A = this chain, B = another copy of it.
Amino acid sequence: MSPADRVPLPAALAGALGERFGGRFTTNPQILLQHGRSESHHAARLPDGVVLAHSTEEVVAVVRLCAEHQVPIVPFGAGTSLEGNTTPLRGGISLDLSEMNRIVAVHAEDFDCTVEAGVRRQQLNEHLRDQGLFFPIDPGADATIGGMASTRASGTNAVRYGTMKDAVLSLRVVTPDGRDIRTARRARKSAAGYDLTRLFVGAEGTLGVITEVTLRLHPIPEAISAAVCGFATLRGAVDTVVQTIQYGVPIARVEILDDVQMRAVNRWSKLDYPELTTLFFEFHGSERYVQEQVETVAAIAAENGGGDFQWATTPEQRSRLWKARHEAYYAAVALRPGAVGWPTDVCVPISRLAECISATKADLETASIPATIVGHVGDGNFHVIFVLDPDKPEERVEAERLNAALVARALAMDGTCTGEHGIGVGKMDCLEQELGEALELMRTLKRAFDPADLMNPGKIVRL
Listed in ascending order, the chain A residues whose CB lies under 8 Å from chain B are: 107, 109-112, 132, 151-154, 158, 162-163, 165-166, 175, 179-196, 198-199, 201-203, 207, 218-219, 221-222, 242, 245-248, 250, 285-286, 288-289, 292, 347-351, 379-381, 410-411, 414-423, 427, 430-431, 434-442, 444-449, 460-461
Q: Which residues of B contact A162 (CB under 8 A)?
A: 166
| B195 and A199 within 8 A (CB) | yes
> Given the known A-B contacts A416-B185, A418-B190, A423-B193, are A351 and B440 also in contact in the complex, defined by CB atoms under 8 Å?
no
| B195 and A202 within 8 A (CB) | yes
| B179 and A437 within 8 A (CB) | yes
Complex CA–CA separation, A286 to B247 (angstroms): 9
Q: Which residues of B contact A165 (CB under 8 A)?
A: 189, 195, 198
- Nearest neighbor of A250 in chain B, beta-carbon distance: B250
Task: Select which of B198, B203, B416 is within 8 A of A190 by beta carbon.
Answer: B416
| B186 and A415 within 8 A (CB) | yes
- Nearest neighbor of A194 in chain B, beta-carbon distance: B442
- Nearest neighbor of A289 in chain B, beta-carbon distance: B289
Q: Which residues of B contact A203 (CB under 8 A)?
A: 194
List 26 A-B residue pairs with CB atoms under 8 Å apart, sorted by A's residue number: A109-B246, A109-B351, A132-B246, A152-B195, A163-B189, A165-B198, A186-B415, A187-B347, A187-B379, A187-B414, A187-B419, A188-B347, A188-B379, A191-B418, A191-B422, A192-B430, A193-B435, A194-B460, A199-B199, A218-B248, A219-B248, A222-B248, A248-B286, A288-B289, A289-B292, A448-B448
Shortest Cβ distance from A181 into chain B, in angstroms? 4
Q: Which residues of B contact A347 (CB under 8 A)?
A: 187-190
| B349 and A112 within 8 A (CB) | yes
Shortest Cβ distance from A147 into chain B, in angstroms? 12
Complex CA–CA separation, A185 to B110 (angstroms): 33
| A189 and B420 within 8 A (CB) | yes
Q: Which residues of B contact A187 (CB under 8 A)?
A: 347-349, 379-381, 410, 414-416, 419
Task: Select which of B198, B247, B381, B416 is within 8 A of A198 by beta carbon.
Answer: B198
Q: Which residues of B contact A242 (CB under 8 A)?
A: 109
Complex CA–CA separation, A192 to B438 (angstroms): 12
Complex CA–CA separation, A440 to B437 (angstroms): 27
Highest count of chain B CB atoms <10 Å: which of A166, A191, A441: A191
Complex CA–CA separation, A247 to B179 (angstroms): 40
| B448 and A447 within 8 A (CB) | yes
| B191 and A423 within 8 A (CB) | yes
Complex CA–CA separation, A198 to B197 (angstroms): 9
Complex CA–CA separation, A150 to B107 (angstroms): 31
Q: Which residues of B contact A246 (CB under 8 A)?
A: 109, 111, 132, 219
Q: Which residues of B contact A289 (CB under 8 A)?
A: 288-289, 292
Q: Which residues of B contact A419 (CB under 8 A)?
A: 187, 189-191
Task: Select which of B202, B247, B351, B461 is within 8 A of A191 by beta carbon.
Answer: B202
| B416 and A461 within 8 A (CB) | no
Complex CA–CA separation, A431 to B350 (angstroms): 39
> Given the known A-B contacts A186-B349, A189-B158, are A445 and B194 also in contact in the complex, defined by CB atoms under 8 Å?
yes
| A192 and B417 within 8 A (CB) | yes
- Nearest neighbor of A424 in chain B, beta-carbon distance: B191
Complex CA–CA separation, A186 to B434 (angstroms): 11
Shortest Cβ distance from A354 into chain B, in angstroms? 11
Q: Which residues of B contact A207 (CB under 8 A)?
A: 194
Q: Which residues of B contact A245 (CB under 8 A)?
A: 111, 219
| B186 and A420 within 8 A (CB) | no
- Nearest neighbor of A110 in chain B, beta-carbon distance: B349
> Given the known A-B contacts A192-B434, A192-B435, A431-B193, are A186 and B414 also in contact in the complex, defined by CB atoms under 8 Å?
yes
- Nearest neighbor of A459 in chain B, beta-carbon distance: B193
Q: Which residues of B contact A420 (CB under 8 A)?
A: 189, 191
Q: Which residues of B contact A350 (CB under 8 A)?
A: 109-111, 188
Task: Select which of B110, B181, B191 is within 8 A of A441 by beta carbon.
Answer: B181
Contacts A193-B460, A194-B199 known; list 4 others, CB within 8 Å. Answer: A188-B350, A192-B430, A195-B202, A288-B292
Q: Which residues of B contact A351 (CB under 8 A)?
A: 107, 109-110
Q: Which residues of B contact A411 (CB under 8 A)?
A: 185
> Given the known A-B contacts A292-B288, A351-B107, are A438 and B196 also in contact in the complex, defined by CB atoms under 8 Å?
yes
Highest count of chain B CB atoms <10 Å: which of A132, A193, A434: A193
